Amino acid sequence: MNNDSLERYNAYIDKISSESIPQYEPFIGQEEIDNVVNVLKGNWLSEGVYTRQFEDKIKKMYKMDYALACANGTGVLIMGLKALGIGTGDEVIVPSYTHPADVNCIYAVGATPKFCDIDLSNYCISPNSIIQNINKKTKAILVVHLFGFAAEMDKIINIGMEKDIPILEDCAQALGTKYNNKLVGSFGDFGMLSFFADKTITTGEGGMLITNNQELIDEVNIYKHDGRRERGLDLIERQGYNFRITDIQSAIGVAQFDRLKEFINLKQILNETYIEKLKLCDSITIINNNSKTYRVPHRVVINAKNSIELIDFLAKKGIGCRRSYRPMHKEPICNIDGDFPNSDRAYSE
């Protein structure tokens, strides 16, 4: 790390260390500690019993046929795209207003992101924008359920069926969120979950692919294990990766999952508290659920015309607050001209 990078990193650490009310913090209890100790005493640290338990719990929750634990959500998307045969010359529709991992995964398989605008009522990809951007090169639609909101999956699934285009769901920030009483992540060809440190349940890092497609899960498993169908086999069938999780992480995940209802309840109480306390502030807006969505809030999302000033004010009070994502079409890696007014407005406010 060079001096400039180290200085910026230290400044960031100083900032978050000074927060008396952090933007997020994990809930780690004795059960998580006990599970990790069991793994360490068992002397098998890579994927093992806890990983299979973790997968089974997620699979049953989502009522899906398959769940595959991975090192992170980014790996899930890369392997899922490759398993669908998406690569050079193909386009994947994706919202510009999203986490950079979604776009990086598309580039990682050699495909090109085709950016769409969002709906400001839910910060998710706009079905109308999807329709406007479909062409002969479109090989998938990547839906991102941002901040725990749900995209309009009934409309999007209909688009995918009509055009015969796979629908992929990034639910990294939406574990437990439902649309029309069905868990997001269970609508499309596959869903991705993330267990990074700021998620509803965490394993520090970690991800999960969920699907009902056996052919897809078999392909992803090959990519996950260095091009082999499983560890211990010598036959290399693909140019694969090592996207395995550890049993230490999964041991934490199993304990976290057993407290999922508690965590969801706490997050919803916090979100409702902000809405109640700030309801008389004319200068801000908090977007809440619509009638079709049962939301598990990833963040309390506040819209403010003077967002930068508000962030600075809160920081001085020790309250953790961050600006949301810069639209990817404006990032140097993409730098794409286009009209994305809702994405630009979401970032500015």
pLDDT tens figures, 315-327: 899 999 888 999 9
d(CA 187, CA 181): 12
pLDDT of residue 237: 84
d(CA 304, CA 319): 16
**What does the DSSP 8-state code read for residue 221?**
H
Give tens-digit pLDDT for 83-110: 999 999 999 999 999 999 999 999 999 9
User: Residue 65: phi, psi to the nearest 5?
Assistant: -75, -30
Enter the pTM of the model. 0.95
Helical packing angle, 49-62 and 247-257, nearest 10°: 40
Query: What is the average per-residue pLDDT within 248-274?
Result: 97
| Number of residues written out for the chain | 349
